[in-house]
Amino acid sequence: TQSSEFLFKPLVDSLLYGDEYLLLADYQSYVNTQKKVSQAYRDQDHWTRISIINAANMGKFSSDRTIREYSHEIWNVEPISVDLDEYDQDSAGLKRLSELP
């Protein structure tokens, strides 16, 4: 529609003319890779094979381990202990569906 024709213009303009975080820097590479992914997905046997290989190659990935390594090796900070109060669902304002009116 006429009113929605320019709906995303500010966003597009900010990316094209003021992309300070270089969000579009590798966009063409993304498009090319997405085409390869789409092509691979059409062959379900191939897709299954490469999916299993990808998962197997993840190795020991763990977000906790990664954050711990970043903290030590990059940020040069040590972990600290944080004492948290006991969690209380009622005081948190959470209700089970069965408790809703």
φ/ψ of residue 95, rounded to 5: -130, 150
Tell whether 70 is covered by a domain.
yes
Tell whether 33 is covered by a domain.
yes
Residue-wise pLDDT tens digits, 34-52: 999 999 999 999 999 999 9
Residue-wise pLDDT tens digits, 1-36: 567 888 999 999 999 999 999 999 999 999 999 999
If one counts the domains in the chain, the total is 1
pTM over 0.75: no
Tell whether 54 is covered by a domain.
yes
Angle ∠(63,47,33) on CA atoms, nearest 5: 70
Angle ∠(37,43,46) on CA atoms, nearest 5: 80
Evaluate whether 45 touches 56 at the Cβ level (below 8 Å): no
Containing structural domain, residue 13: 8-74
